Copies of this chain bind each other. A is one copy, B any other.
């Protein structure tokens, strides 16, 4: 029957002053403090001043935890990326961050656990109510996470990649067209022996870009001309080395994206090859590095900034309008010719 207090765990002294303290200090009721700080109009300017003074004096800061519980929102969205140190993702993150911050949301970083079922347990954060929504840039064709998340009612937007048969907001590039652009460019330069060093087979980006490439080449590529692996520098590096070790190396390589393309270039240059004389290399994305003099990579540009911003906006809309019909935004791409592609060498 007696009131009880749990002892603060010893490590928690901060955030002492509560609205009740301010109330006491100002000689009003706690609810009045709340009203003042929320700008309630019908409050006498006298008590308002008293309360504000007391709050200021005590250094009162409202508890977001309590506000969150009351408001049933957290003001936080999760952004899921594959790797943080991968050039492409920071680019996305940066633009998403700006947009979401402007909309009043904070971002928590979620590194994709590679949709291994086991790791779903560690992802409880995705399913409890600590997040108002999630932005996923790592969806794979067969990944369960977006589907489960959607089923749980979590506001959700897929950026950059999409998932078949999942009717949620999607913001991506026209990757089939991107694949076509890439292949057309190399074909126009006279290349016939083209290898593709693509990203993971189970991503929509890889599937679409490859589809576009094959549309133009109008032929199946031999198995040793098609490689798949993670969208990483070292993947491109390894693929290039493998290709160059064979008896008849290709004259051109289409990499899965710029990060991989730069890996390809690194391997090629390191083994003394010149671009485009010995080998043409082409990527996708047009990340800033691609334009550096030392790289000067021909690539099919996608507007990652527009995608990131639009995805962020879609998520905010989705959170506010959970039941509106999903949108599927597709952004155009454009070929950017630089120095890593050139005419097929007509050697003796």
A residues adjacent to B (C-beta < 8 A): 8-9, 11-15, 59, 61-66, 68-69, 72-74, 76, 83-87, 89-91, 93-94, 97, 101, 106-109, 111, 124-125, 127-130, 152-154, 233, 262, 265-266, 269-270, 288-289, 292-295, 319-322
Q: With a CB–CB cut-off of 8 A, which chain B residues contact A101?
A: 111
Contact (A154, B14) CB under 8 Å given A108-B106, A294-B265: yes
Most buried by B among A69, A83, A127, A152: A69
Q: Compute how far the CA of A231 lies from the CA of B63 in the bound complex, rounded to whole angstroms.
A: 36
Is the CB–CB distance between B109 and A97 below 8 Å?
A: yes
Is the CB–CB distance between B65 and A72 below 8 Å?
A: yes
Q: Compute how far the CA of A89 lies from the CA of B109 in the bound complex, rounded to whole angstroms.
A: 14
Q: With a CB–CB cut-off of 8 A, which chain B residues contact A288?
A: 85, 233
**Identical chains bound together, number:** 2
Whole-angstrom distance between the Cβ of A22 and the nearest chain B Cβ: 15
Told that A106-B109, A289-B289 touch, could you supply 4 new A-B pairs with CB distance under 8 A? A64-B129, A66-B69, A87-B87, A108-B109
Whole-angstrom distance between the Cβ of A118 and the nearest chain B Cβ: 15
Q: With a CB–CB cut-off of 8 A, which chain B residues contact A83?
A: 94
Interchain Cβ contacts under 8 Å between A and B, 23 examples: A11-B319, A11-B321, A12-B72, A14-B322, A62-B128, A63-B69, A63-B129, A64-B129, A64-B130, A65-B65, A65-B129, A66-B69, A85-B90, A85-B91, A87-B87, A97-B111, A101-B111, A106-B109, A107-B109, A262-B294, A269-B293, A269-B294, A294-B295
Q: Compute how far the CA of A74 lies from the CA of B9 in the bound complex, rounded to whole angstroms.
A: 14
